[in-house]
Amino acid sequence: MPALRPERAGRWATRAGVVVVAGAALLTLLATAALAADDPTAPTAPVDPTAPTGGLDINIGGNSPSSAITLILAITVLSIAPSLLLLVTSFTKIVVVLSLTRNALGLQNSPPNQVLTGLAFFLTLFVMGPVIADINHLAIQPYLDGQMSIGQAYDAGVEPLKHFLLANTRGDELKLMVGLSGEQMPADQDAVSMLTLVPAFVLSELKSAFIIGLVVFIPFLVLDMLVSAALMAMGMMMVPPVIVSLPFKLLLFVVVDGWALITTALVGSYSGSG
Which position has the higher pLDDT, 232 or 8?
232
The average pLDDT across 168-186 equals 84
DSSP state at residue 191? G
pLDDT of residue 119: 92
Q: Report the distance separating Cα 92 and Cα 117, nearest Å.
A: 10
Q: Give the per-residue pLDDT at 123.
A: 92
In the chain the first and final C-alpha atoms are separated, in Å, by 112
Q: Which residue blocks in 136-193 are alpha helix, DSSP H?
A: 141-144, 150-167, 171-181
Q: What is the pLDDT of residues 32-79, one digit of tens each?
A: 544 454 445 555 655 555 545 444 444 444 455 567 766 777 777 677
Shortest CA distance to 87 belongs to which of 170, 202, 168?
202
Query: What's the Cα-to-Cα distance from 110 to each of 98, 105, 114, 130, 135, rounded to whole Å?
Result: 11, 10, 10, 32, 36
The alpha carbon dihedral of 211, 216, 218, 221 has a sign of negative
* Residue 76 φ/ψ, nearest 5 degrees: -65, -45
- Average per-residue pLDDT in the chain? 77
Most confident of 68-77, 150-159, 185-194: 150-159
Looking at residue 55, what is its pLDDT?
Answer: 47
Question: 91-95, 120-124, 184-188, 200-204 — which is least confidently predicted?
Answer: 184-188
Q: What are phi and psi of 51, to 5 degrees?
A: -80, 150
pLDDT at residue 16 in the model: 55
Q: Is the pLDDT of residue 242 over 60?
A: yes
Name the more confident of 13 and 248.
248
Whole-number pLDDT of residue 63 = 53
Q: What is the pLDDT of residue 193?
A: 82
pLDDT band at 247 (very low <50, low <70, confident <90, very high): confident
CB 139 within 8 A of CB 59: no
User: How many Å apart are CA 146 and CA 86, to the nearest integer?
Assistant: 31
User: Pick from 198, 215, 229: which is nearest to 265 by CA?
Assistant: 215
Tell me the β-bridge partners of 64: 60
Q: What is the pLDDT of residues 206-241, one digit of tens each?
A: 999 999 999 999 998 888 888 888 888 887 777 777
| Per-residue pLDDT band at 151 (split at 50, 70, 90) | confident
Look at residue 10 in the predicted model and tell me its pLDDT: 53
Q: Is 60 exceeded by the pLDDT of residue 274?
A: no
Q: Return the bridge partners of 60, or none.
A: 64
Out of 79-88, 91-100, 139-148, 224-233, least confident range: 79-88
